[in-house]
Amino acid sequence: MTKQINFLMTTSLLLAASMTTACQGSGGSGDSRIVGAAIGTDGVHGTSTPTPDFIEGEAAGPNTITLALRYVSYLNSAGTPVIDEATSQKIVRRVNELYAPCDVRFFIEEYVPAIPGDLGLAYGMSSMSELDPIRSQFESQDRLVVINTGNWSAPESANAWTTMPGYSPSGAVLEAQVATNGEIVAHEIGHYLNLDHVSTATNLLSPIVYKTSTVLTARQCEIVRQSAVDSWSAMRR
């Protein structure tokens, strides 16, 4: 019998002008230690494999770690994506700027526009119990997964939830209102790579992400790089 673990990292949006997001510690939807969940493909339309889009002029060094992403965007009833492919590339470029001190970078290897209704999913999440079914549809064996849904109405929810390494189904799930915020995406990828919250407001993993919350320490970079080796080696390119 699989032991059920409730251990998720989460980000919630605050409307105060001086700050962007706040994370609210642990919570969750009953993640388990099962790995390798199958990905449903029904209702996933127009997948593509874009050319890697790194920081302009950036070249990989001998120690650079490059990780592939599966970047999912829900389509609304009019067929409009939560975040289109070009904007997704722009967001990932910002993520790469923030992770440059770690000599770690990411690229969208697969952009997936998805019709949630065709997958038995709602456009906007109304219950935290929907997180695992969302991840189960898109979890990948060889890509980190970032899933952008419609806006949520779940009263207990924050705006983004990410499983830590070792828990499955894996993936970062963000609602539409934070999809274009590169700092939030970078923060959630930090959880994906085994980073916990820290109390320093200028750190990217601050529970409240301000505009100035952009720092990753040398120790955090060590953790990120080790996680890429230990937990996500299949995602390396």
Task: Give pLDDT tens digits for 78-121.
Answer: 999 999 999 999 999 999 999 999 999 999 999 999 999 999 99
The per-residue DSSP string of the chain comes to -PPEE--EEEEEE---TTEEEEE-----S-EES---PPPP-TTB---B-PPP--STT----TT-EEEEEEEEEEB-TTS-BSS-HHHHHHHHHHHHHHHGGGTEEEEEEEEEEE-GGGGT--SB--SGGGHHHHHHHH--SSSEEEEE-B----TT--SEEEEPTT-BS--EEE-GGGTT-HHHHHHHHHHHTTPPP-S-TTBTT-SEEETT--B--HHHHHHHHHHHHHT-GGGB-
The gap from C-alpha 87 to its chain's centroid, in whole angstroms, comes to 15
- All domains of the chain, ordered by start, with CATH? 37-181 (3.40.390)
**What pLDDT band is residue 27 in, cutting at 50, 70 and 90?**
very low
Task: Give pLDDT tens digits for 111-151.
Answer: 999 999 999 999 999 999 999 999 999 999 999 999 999 99
pLDDT on residue 207: 87
Predicted TM-score (pTM) of the model is 0.81
Q: What is the mean pLDDT of residues 31-35?
A: 22
pLDDT on residue 10: 53
Higher pLDDT, 214 or 35: 214
Q: What is the mean pLDDT of residues 57-83?
A: 91
